[in-house]
Amino acid sequence: MLKSSRVLFQCLSKHIEVTVRTALVTRKVSAFSPNRKCQYHKSADKMDILFCDYDFVGFDLDCTLCEYHVSDMARMEYDVMADFLIGRGYPSDKLKLGLDGFGLDFIQRGLILDFQRGNVLKLDRNGGIMKATHGTKVLDPEVTVEVYGRRTTNCPFLARIKENMLSAWEPDCRSRYRLLLDYFDFPAGLAFARCVDHFDERGETDFTKCGEDTLAVLRYMYNRDHFADGRSEYFKRMRAEPSKYIRRSDPRLIVWLRNLHRKKRTFLITGSNCDLADFVATHSLGPDWRDLFDVVVCFANKPFFFTERRPYLSVTNDLKEGQPTENLSLPGIFSQGNWADLAHLFCVNLNKPEARGLYFGDNLVQDVFTPLKFGCCDTVAVVEEKNEDHPSREAVHSEFWGAMHARGSWWGNVIEIYAKASIPSMNALPR
C-alpha cells in the first residue's frame, strides 16, 4: 500500500485549490519546457500542478469526465459481440462461454491483436513482447521469439509502433492489427481469441478472417449513425438502461468543474457524435452539462484532431451536423474540427499571442501521447486501473496479463514519458 499523503493542485488565492492523495497522482518524467511551474517535492512525495500555468483546460468525455459501470458494460459489450459473431457462423458453444472467471480476467486495455497469426500481444516498455497468447492459449516465450524476433524484428508493424504509435491508424496496419485502447473495444480481445480457438480446432493456419469479423462487429456496434437509427444492439441496450451502464458523476466534481469554468477557459473534446455525447453527458453530468464548458467539440476524430486541419461543422439545435463554419465563438458546440483552430480561438478570446492548454483523457494514444508529441498541450492521463478499490475491479485488473500500466510495460512507459501526471479518476480532484 502506498502511504497516504496529499497532492496540491494550487493557484494562489485567485485560482482553484484541490487536493489529491499521492497514491492517485504520481510524478512523470517528461521533456516539458523548462519554464513550467511544476514543483516535485521528493521528500514529501508531492507534485504541484499549477492551473495558473494554463490558459485553457480541457477534458475527454467517455471514461474521463463520464465514468461507466465497467463490469456491467463489458459483459453487455461481449454479449453483443458474441451474438454478432455467431451470426457469422462461429459456434455458440465457443462464443457463449460468457465473461466470467477466465474470460473476464483475459480482457485488458492496451493489448494488440495480430489478425493473421491469431495472437494477442502485450508489449514491454521497449516494444518487445512481454506476454502473448495464440487464441486464449499462452505462447511459450521461445515460440514468441521465433515468431516475432528477439526485439520484434520479424514484425514491421511493431517496429513502426515503436517509432510512432499513430502508425496503428495507417490502412495497411489497421487491416492486420488492432490496438485495444479503451473500455469500449477491450472485450474484443476475448471475442477474437475465441474465434481463433475455433479456427485452430478446424486446422486453419490463417486467422485473418477472425480479425476481419472482429473489426466488423466493432463497426456495427459503434457506427455513429446507429445511435439514432437503432441498428446497434449496443446502443439499444445503453438507451434502455442508462443507469446500469453510466455512472452519475460525484456532485463535488460538478462543483469543481463549475469553479474551474469561472476562472479558466474550459473545453470538451469527444470522439462521440453529438447526440450520443449529449445522452451520456446528461446521464452523468446532468442536463446542464454544456454550461460547464466554453467549447464542446464532438466527433473529433482523435488522434487526428491534434495533427490535421479538418474543418469545423456547425451543430443544429437537434444535435445534427450542419455546414462547415469558420465562425468559431464562445460558448459553442461544434463537430469535427482541429486543435490549431481551437487554440487560436482561445488566443483571440484571451487577447494573447500564445496560450497554454492542459488536457485530461483516458486514451493513452489519442488523449495523452498525441497532444504532447505534436506540441499541442500538456496532458494528464486518467488511468482507472490505478484504483485498487475500483468498483469494477474484476474488469479493470487482470491477473492473467498483469497490470496494464505496470512498470516495464509499454503503456506504463507511455504514461511516464507523455503524461504530466496520472490520476485514477476525475472524482479524485475535488476530494
Q: Classify burial at 142, counting beta carbons within 10 Å of its beta carbon; exposed 0-12, middle 13-18, buried 19 or more.
A: exposed
> Where does a domain end: 180, 212, 240?
240
Segment 129-148 mean pLDDT:
94
**In a domain? residue 279:** yes
What is the C-alpha separation between 226 and 236, in angstroms, rounded?
9
Same domain, 314 and 358: yes
Burial of 301: CB neighbours in 10 Å, binned 0-12, 13-18, 19+? middle
How far from each other are the two terminal CA atoms of the chain, in whole angstroms?
20
Residues 137 and 197 in one domain: yes
Q: Judge whether 33 lies within some domain.
A: no
Grid cell 461481449 — which residue?
Answer: 78
Q: Report CA torsion sign: 163, 219, 87, 81.
A: positive
pLDDT tens-digit profile of 237-280? 999 999 999 999 999 999 999 999 999 999 999 999 999 999 99
**Which residue in the list 48, 53, 62, 93 is annotated as catalytic?**
62
2, part of any domain: no
User: pLDDT by residue (tens digit) across 386-414?
Assistant: 999 999 999 999 999 999 999 899 999 99
Asked whether residue 43 is assigned to any structural domain, the reply reads no
Cell of 325: 463554419
pTM: 0.88
Residues 296 and 363 in one domain: yes
Query: Residue type for 429, please?
Result: L
**Of 240, 261, 288, which residue is a domain's last?**
240
- Show which of 210, 240, 270 is a domain's final residue: 240
- The verdict on residue 423 lying in a domain is yes
Domain count, the chain: 2
220 and 278, same domain (yes or no): no
Confirm whether 48 is domain-assigned: no
> Is position 367 annotated as part of the catalytic site?
no
Grid coordinates representing 318 are 437537434
- pLDDT value at 20 more than 60: no
pLDDT bin (cut points 50, 70, 90) of residue 11 is very low
pLDDT at 398: 96
What CATH number is associated with residue 423? 3.40.50.1000
> What pLDDT score does 161 carry?
87
Are residues 295 and 409 located together in one domain of the fold?
yes
Q: How confident is the model over 290-317, as pLDDT tens digits?
A: 999 999 999 999 999 999 999 999 999 9
Does residue 341 belong to any structural domain of this protein?
Answer: yes
In the chain, what percentage of residues exceed pLDDT 90? 78
pLDDT for 2 beyond 50: no
Find the catalytic residue in 55, 60, 362, 367.
60
Average pLDDT, the chain: 88
User: Does one domain contain both 92 and 210?
Assistant: yes
Domain span including residue 347: 53-68+246-388+401-428
Residues 63 and 76 in one domain: no
pLDDT value of residue 159: 84
194 plus 87 within the same structural domain: yes
Average pLDDT of span 41-59: 63
- 272 and 362 inside one domain: yes
Give the pLDDT of residue 37: 38
Active-site residue flag, 172: no
Domain shared by 61 and 81, yes or no:
no
Q: Exposed/middle/buried for 235, CB within 10 Å: 0-12, 13-18, 19+?
A: buried
Structural domain contains residue 23: no
Q: Which amino acid is at 153?
A: T
Average pLDDT over residues 181-205: 97
If asked whether residues 423 and 337 sit together in one domain, one would say yes
Are residues 290 and 424 located together in one domain of the fold? yes
